[in-house]
Amino acid sequence: MTTGYVWHERYAWHDTGTHAGLVPAGGPVQPFQNFESPESKTRFASLVEVSGLTDHLLRVPARPATEEDLLRVHSPEHVARIRALSEAGGGDGGDGWTPFGAGSYEIALLAAGGTIAATEAVLTGRADNSYALVRPPGHHAERDRGMGYCLFANIAVAVAWARAHHGVRRIAVVDYDVHHGNGTQSMFYQDPDVLTVSIHQEGLFPQRSGTFAETGKGAGAGSALNIPLPAGCGNGAYTEAFRRVVVPAVRTFAPELILVASGFDASAADPLGRMTVTTAGYRALTRQLMDVADEVCQGRLVMSHEGGYSPVYVPFCGLAVLETLSGHSTGVEDPFDGVWAASPQHPLTGWQDEVLARAEEVARGLGLICRSPDVKGNGESSTRKGSTRDH
Ligand code: ZN
């Protein structure tokens, strides 16, 4: 198995300024960093290096996206505004929550281009799958503005590039970042050939976004699927959601390529999300995505990094995903596993099961789950209330 890997030192140079987490300096709390700082990303890259995993990966150089690449999904006004602000020393992406400093335009080009490069490595057969560890992230960025730490929509740019340069028509985007992948969804909301599936914490960010009711529009009706999970979900809810909804939907859609918005802010240690996924959970989700990619598109799976704000835990979540993608175990153990693996929040609860049943119903209504709810591949019934914890 050959896994392509993108990382560039300049991703760490994207400057989000001095903040107390979300709050700009100058308020009543001692300034620190923005939650979206280089730390979780550089430490992830560092662990990939010192664990020896890079020796087993195909290093794919990042390259800047061209303006033409951006303009397939962004307006010329947005691109020009970000460039001008960047040249002037910095500004905000467009929503008041997306600060950036001098030179971030070029770094954002490198993030979108890094995702393109990872996609190209898979489409040309140089890699079986790939992971683009890029920054700034992309899945909140909309056509006309940056949002939620995102300047340009890295994955959407790569989707449009793959269609323009490789004749790929049908693409599925699976987003397991704890926040709704609103930007990616909005860009393909009326496009029947791009399925967007976002599994996220209900109502977190953007608020009132990513509901069951958002399912696509016009020609794209039925090509957006949202699974808003209640806070507190762990490995059980996530792996079940993938088994029962995400994977069947991707299988039914039968894309030629799968892109994944890989954010680790649903982890047990994240300061912004309120979920409890551990490295074992991320391994399981990756395995499920690889299996369905094998079934429908010759294993063609490309992951692009999104959120994840624990400087000490994201590296292990990322290593777990990269080890699974590449099939190579470094032997590095998750030192936090003893703390979080035994959490009572991992088994699927009755109330989580009810949300998954609703998600199945929505997906079935869209024609994305074809089999009857009573016919499960492993013989389990569709509801597991009797065997799970109920709070
Ligand atoms: Zn996020």
The per-residue pLDDT for range 91-111, each reduced to its tens digit, is: 999 999 999 999 999 999 999
pLDDT at site 389: 31
The predicted structure's pLDDT at residue 342: 84
**Of the ranges 192-201, 264-273, 320-329, 373-382, which one carries the lowest mean pLDDT score?**
373-382
CA of 306 to the centre of ligand 1 (A): 6
Amino acid at site 190 = Q
How many Å is the Cα radius of gyration of the chain?
Answer: 19
17 CA to centre of ligand 1 in angstroms = 19
In the chain, the N- to C-terminal Cα span, in Å, equals: 42
191: pLDDT strictly greater than 60 = yes
For 11-22, the pLDDT digits (tens) are 999 999 999 999
What separation in Å is there between the alpha carbon of 179 and the centre of ligand 1?
Answer: 4
Q: Is the pLDDT confidence value at 226 over 80?
A: yes
Q: What confidence score (pLDDT) does residue 352 get?
A: 98
CB under 8 Å to 2, separation ≥6 — which residues? Answer: 58, 126, 127, 128, 326
242 CB contacts (<8 Å, ≥6 apart)? 199, 284, 285, 288, 289
Determine the Cα–Cα distance for residues 267 and 276; give it in Å rounded to an integer. Answer: 5
Phi, psi of 311 (to 5 degrees): -65, -25
Identify the residue whose tokens are 């074809």: 370
CA atoms within 13 A of residue 332's CA, in its CB half-sphere: 20
Q: What residue type is assigned to position 32 of the chain? A: F
**Ligand 1 centre distance from Cα of residue 197 (Å):** 15
CA of 269 to the centre of ligand 1 (A): 13
DSSP string, 162-217: HHHHH----EEEEE-SSS--HHHHHHTTT-TTEEEEEEEETT-SSTT-S-TT----
Tell me the whole-structure pTM to 2 decimals: 0.94
* Helix extents (H) in the chain: 39-50, 67-71, 76-87, 104-123, 154-166, 182-187, 235-241, 247-253, 279-297, 314-326, 337-340, 350-365
* pLDDT in the model for residue 341: 87
Assess whether 8 carries a catalytic annotation.
Answer: no
Among residues 78, 140, 179, 305, which one is catalytic?
140
For the sheet with 32-33, list strands across it: 23-24, 18-20, 32-33
Q: Which of 261, 1, 224 is nearest to 111 (CA)?
A: 261
Q: How far is the CA of 227 from the centre of ligand 1 (A)?
A: 15
Question: Which H/E stretch holds residue 261?
Answer: strand 257-262
